[in-house]
Every structure is written in structure tokens, then in C-alpha cells.
Amino acid sequence: MLAVGDVAPDFSGKDQHGRDISLGSLLERGKLLLYFYPKDFTPVCTAQACTFRDATSELAELGTNVVGVSGDDADSHARFGSKHNVPFSLLSDPDHRIIEAYGATWLFGRIRRVTYVIGTDRKILGAFHHELSAAKHLKDAKRLLAP
């Protein structure tokens, strides 16, 4: 897992709408809450996406946009995003290139539930790991971003 103060690794990928997304383009809009999750449609991953979905406006008011990343393909992300009205990009990372660059793997290459808050200067402002609590990711991020 990356630490506070580390420089966020550059990345690019396709989201559930087929759009090309890169770290640079995301940071042009403000800070980034980048979260990694194991699998679409699983209970905790669904709760996590819905938690961030419900806080999207509040996070935007704090100058922060949200992006989720998992190893699922874009079609799975499209179905998942549509079913749960996810308003932010879900990046597909089937080869785990982004996931590994951000240290979001653990035993046997499984994806860890990790959330990073990244500043516009690409520095990691916060790094949170709570495997079974989706709500703690949001709580930690909001505490960090609060004025």
C-alpha cells in the first residue's frame, strides 16, 4: 500500500462507458478519491460503491471526485454501475497494472479494499484500508478533506 506523501503512480484506463481516463485528467478537476475493490456485485463492494455514490455531491463540494478500480471488465462495470446508479467512473484493470502500482493486492494476488485521497500535486493525502467496512472509507476520507 502507498503511504501518505508518496507520489501517486500515473495510470490510464477505460471506464464503464468506454471513456479513456487518466490520473492527469482527473486531477485537473480537483482532488481524487481513488478506491480499489475486489469485485462487482459482491455485498461489501456494492455497499462501498453505493456509499461513495450517496456522498458524491458532498465530496464534490470538498473539491474531490471519485473513481473506483477493480479487475472486472468494462461490461461488468457497466452493468454494476447501471444497476446501482453509480455516477462516477469505474475503471477496468483486468491485468492488475493499476492495482499493483497502488499496492492494492495481497495474498495470491487478491485485490485489497483500499482508498486513496490524492492531491492535485499527485501526492497521497490519505490512505485507508478497511476490508469489511465500506462506511469507514468514506468517514476517513471526509475527515481528511474537511476544512
**CA–CA separation, 36 and 28 (whole Å):** 21
pLDDT over 90 at 147, yes or no: no
68 confidence band (pLDDT: 50, 70, 90)? very high
User: Hey, which bits of 37-123 come out as E strands?
Assistant: 64-70, 89-92, 114-118
Q: What is the dihedral of CA 5, 143, 114, 18, to 10 degrees?
A: -100
CA distance 133 to 140: 11
Cβ contact 131:113 at 8 Å: yes
Half-sphere exposure of 63 (CA within 13 A, CB side): 11
The domain 12-145 is classified under which CATH number: 1.10.357.10, 3.40.50.200, 3.40.30.10, 3.30.470.20?
3.40.30.10
Quick one: angle between helices 134-145 and 43-54, nearest 10?
Answer: 30
Q: What is the pTM of this model?
A: 0.94
**Region 134-146: what's the mean pLDDT?**
89
Contacts of 133 by beta carbon, 8 Å cutoff, 6+ apart? none
pLDDT for residue 95: 94
Taking the C-alpha atoms of residue 138 and residue 115, their distance in angstroms, rounded to an integer, is: 9
Per-chain mean pLDDT for the chain = 94
50 is catalytic: no
Q: What is the pLDDT of residues 104-130, one digit of tens each?
A: 998 777 899 999 999 999 999 999 998
Cell triple for 7: 507520489
pLDDT band (50, 70, 90) for residue 146? confident
**Annotated active-site residue in 23, 45, 91, 134:** 45
pLDDT tens digits for range 11-45: 999 999 999 999 999 999 999 999 999 999 999 89
